[in-house]
Amino acid sequence: MLKAQNLTKRFFGLLAVDSASIDVEEGSITGLIGPNGAGKTTMFAMIAGFLSPNSGQVAFEGNDITGEKPHLRARRGLARTFQIVQPFAGLNVRDNIAVGAYLHTKDPREARSLASQTAERVGLGRELEKLASGLTIAGRKRLELARALATRPKLLLLDEVLAGLNPSEIRDVLPIIRSIRDEGVTILMIEHIMQAVMNLCDSVYVLSQGRMIASGEPRAVCNDPAVIEAYLGHGAAERIRSEGAADA
Amino acid sequence: MIGNREFLYALAFLIVIGVLAVVGLPGNILNLFIFMMIIALAAQGWNLLGGYGGLSSFGHAAFFGTGAYTTAILQTNFGFNAWVGLVCGVAFGSIVGAVIGFLSFRAGLRGSYFALITLAFAEVLRVLANSWSVTGGAAGMLVRLQNGFTYLQFSDRRYFLLILIAFVAATLFLTRWLERSAFGAYLVALRENDQAAQALGVDVFRIKMQAITLSAGVTALAGCLYVQNFLFIDANVAYGSWISIEALFAAIVGGAGTIIGPLIGSVVLLGLGELTKSFAGGIAGIDLVVFGVILVLCVAFAPNGIRGFFSDLAHKRANRMDAA
């Protein structure tokens, strides 16, 4: 559904993403993981159109969208959330979500009722009238999700929607994400919380220092020596294996 | 719905002024109301872009002056009637708005950069109007006095006030429509966070262009009506920074981004200005001192304007009631 090929992004001297490719299957939940500063969010920004790559291509449903503006991608059905939440602080929850809903209807009444339904779905049903600036961090993450959902996306890009949530909040959000997929929305998510990644993802890509170092089924990827070294440092994979052997 | 009640208050206020005017007002009060309504219109224009869109312009004189000059030139040099002048004035004002918008939004200007570039455009127009023969140069232009509905000039000035009130009411309806439409929701969204708005499919550039065009049109309308009332225009009046300041001042003091704000602002500011002048008429510029004091008070105690101040009070009272 989404094919990003050989994306490269350079910020002056810094090579943030180096010829990374990603392929998201329709109907799947695909994870994008990697240590801090690996370039995950930059990769997302290029896919969503907020940054233009120095080289490489992004194709969505077979169409090349590399040079397209973000709002046009949103109209194609590509919605994103932000890692650093970006609520419309002065608006209440319903109006925040309604902005997303206006993508498919110009009728305010319809948009507002769609917004209420979407809020219900992510568990914000009781805070419709609350100002976005008054929400807790967990509430704002839900709001990000609801706004993106209100655009009725085909592909949802989630940038660390679980970061900053406590374990019980995470337990609440996981089934929501799964239910979104079950309704036919493909999901590509950046996530640090491995429990969530193992739990949700059909396949995982690992980005480290701008390069895609591994991809595949989550369990296999986690045991990949290259991945372990990326997270824990050079020689870590070797050490873990020898310790494992000693224990056995 | 809060917006609705506010809208009704504003309409009721206009009706009261209208009735007062018909019943009879002393000439100087009538003139004051006329001026208040002209400023209210200019401020309502500013409010559409600066209040709802968060794009604070310092150069709404560019639109006001274009409206004023267009009407004046069409009437004096080409003999068009005032209504045609008015429509053309609004159209030209909008075009100027679109051009300025295109240039500044293409370059991605916002915040103080946008404010400065609009100020620069207004100043350029002022200098041009001051030296071009078509606009009468530094001598300015006189519009011929011709009483009659088609000339928008009346020997009985009450009619002019009623027409102004009708225009102000029309822009209230326009603002209320904006608050409830998808366009308005998009405009407010890009004010609050334009990255997030883009991610939700908002064509930020297009919405900004539509907003500045609309905003310019309304402020140009104020310019057209100004000329019909004062019958004289020169570059410093039409494109001078006084009107830019008055428009943004009234909107901000009253409550930017609200339906009733610009109206409250212009009434309070001009009303207080007039009061001080009548009490301390001998001191030149005393009303400007009062403006300054009001601005300081607003910044310190009512950052959301007079309307915001009262709605905050109401909220606080409601909270106390809940607590008790």
Q: Quote the number of domains for chain A.
A: 2
CB A88 to CB B196 under 8 A?
A: yes
> pLDDT tens digits for A7-18?
999 999 899 999
Q: What is the residue-level pLDDT of chain A in tens, covering all 248 positions? A: 999 999 999 999 899 999 999 999 999 999 999 998 899 999 999 999 999 999 999 999 999 999 999 999 999 999 999 999 999 999 999 999 999 999 999 999 999 999 999 999 999 999 999 999 999 999 999 999 999 999 999 999 999 999 888 999 999 999 999 999 999 999 999 998 888 899 899 999 999 999 999 999 999 998 888 888 888 888 888 888 888 777 76
Structure confidence at residue B1 as a pLDDT band (50, 70, 90): very low
How many structural domains is chain B composed of? 1
Note whether A241 and A159 are same-domain residues.
Answer: yes
Residue A204, domain extent: 2-77+154-247
Interface with A, mutate which of B200, B205, B210 (most A CBs under 10 A): B200
Measured between CA atoms, the residue of chain A closest to residue B304 is A90
From the list A89, A108, A151, the residue facing B192 with the nearest CB is: A89
- Which of A152, A175, A192 is the C-terminal boundary of a domain? A152
Domain stop point among A129, A152, A175: A152
pTM of the model: 0.90
CB contact under 8 A, B198 and A147: no
**Interchain CB distance below 8 Å, B192 and A75:** no
Burial bucket for residue A84 (CB in 10 Å: 0-12, 13-18, 19+): exposed
* A126 and A173 housed in the same domain: no
- Per-residue tokens: A156: 């949802």
Residue B227 maps to which CATH number?
1.10.3470
Q: Which chain A residues touch B196 with a CB distance below 8 Å?
A: 82, 86-88, 147
Under DSSP, the state recorded for B153 is B
Contact flag A80-B199 (C-beta cutoff 8 Å): yes
The end-to-end CA distance of chain B, in Å, is: 25
Residues A47 and A159 in one domain: yes
pLDDT in tens, B201-232: 999 999 999 999 999 999 999 999 999 999 99
The domain boundary residue, chosen from A128, A152, A176: A152
Q: Is residue A112 part of a domain?
A: yes
A66 within domain boundaries: yes
Between chain A and chain B, the number of residue pairs with CB atoms below 8 A apart is 78
Whether residue B195 and residue A82 make contact (CB cut-off 8 A), yes or no, is: yes
User: How close is the nearest chain A Cα to the Cα of B192, in Å?
Assistant: 5
Q: Do A169 and A186 reside in the same domain of the chain? A: yes
Residue range of the domain that includes B100 = 2-323
A98 vs B contacts (CB less than 8 Å) = 185
Which residue of A74, A88, A105 is in closest CB contact with B201? A74
B188/A88 touch (CB, cutoff 8 Å), yes or no = yes
Provide mean pLDDT across the span B157-164.
92
Q: What is the CATH number of the domain that holds A49?
A: 3.40.50.300
**Chain A contacts to B (CB-CB under 8 A):** 48, 50, 69-71, 74-75, 79-82, 86-91, 95, 98-100, 102-103, 105-106, 108, 111, 147-148, 150-151
What gap in Å lies between CA B227 and CA B153, rounded to an integer?
10
- Residue B181: CB atoms within 10 Å: 15
CA distance A49 to A64: 12
Residue A135 lies in a domain: yes
Which has the closest alpha carbon to B116: B92, B100, B96, B98?
A: B100
Q: Contact A86/B195, CB-based, under 8 Å?
A: yes
pLDDT (tens digit, 9 = 90+) per residue, B177-186?
999 999 999 9
Residues A242 and A202 grouped into a single domain:
yes
Binary contact (A71, B201; C-beta < 8 A): yes
Residues B170, B178 contacting (CB under 8 angstroms): no
